[in-house]
Structure 1
Amino acid sequence: MFDEGGIGYEIVKALPASPKPYHVLLGSRSLDCGHQAAAQLRSELPSTANTVEPLQLDLLSDAPIEAAFSAVQSANRRLDVLINNAGLTRDLNVLRGTATLRASLTDSYAVNVAGTHVVSSTFVPLLLRSTDPRLIFISRLGTFASATKRGYPVPATLGRGTWPKSEVTFETLGYRCSKTAMNMLMLNYRRKLEVDGVKVWAVLPGFLETDLGGERELAREMGAGHPRLGGEVVRRVVEGERDGEPGWLINKDGIVEF
Structure 2
Amino acid sequence: MASNKEIVFITGGNTGLGYEVVKALYKSPRPYEIILGCRAVSKGEEAIATLQKEIPESASTLSVQQADLESDASLEQAVAAISAIHGGRLDVLINNGGASFDNDIAPHGRAMSVRDAFNKMWDVNVSGTHVLTQLAAPLLLQSSAPRLLFVTSGTATLAETEIFDTPMGRRLNASPPAGWPKGSAGPGMMAVMGYRSAKTGLNMVMREWARILRNDGVKVWATGSRPRGALDPSVGGETVREVVEGKRDGEVGKVVRRDMVQPW
Relative to the length of structure 1, the TM-score reads 0.87
Match of 1:142 in 2: 156
In structure 2, the residue matched to 1:122 is 135
Cα RMSD for the two superposed structures: 2.0
2:68 is aligned with 1:44: no
2:91 equivalent to 1:80: yes
The one-letter code of the counterpart of 2:252 is P
* 2:25 partner letter: L
Q: How many residues align?
A: 242
Q: Which runs of 4+ in 1 moved over 6 A?
A: none
> Counterparts of 1:148 and 1:60 in 2: how far apart (Å)?
33
Q: Note the C-alpha offset of 1:155.
A: 5.8
Amino acid at match of 1:79: L
Structure 2 residue 101 is matched with structure 1 residue 90: yes
Residue in 2 aligned with 1:256?
262
SS across alignment from 2:118: helix
Are 1:182 and 2:202 an aligned pair? yes
2:237 pairs with 1:231: yes
Structure 1: runs of 5+ lacking an equivalent: 208-221
1:19 corresponding residue in structure 2: 29
C-alpha distance in structure 2 between counterparts of 1:126 and 1:159, whole Å:
51
| Structure 1 letter corresponding to 2:137 | V
Give how far 1:100 is off.
2.1
Q: Which residue of 2 aligns with 1:55?
A: 65
CA apart distance, 1:157: 5.7
Equivalent of 2:124 in 111, 133, 150:
111
Partner Cα distance (1:240, 1:148) in 2:
32
Q: State the TM-score, normalized to the length of structure 2.
A: 0.86
Q: Give the match for residue 9 of structure 2.
A: none
User: Percent identity at matched positions?
Assistant: 42
Structure 2 stretches lacking a partner, 5+ long: 1-11
Contact 1:25 1:55 (C-alpha < 8 Å) held by counterparts: yes
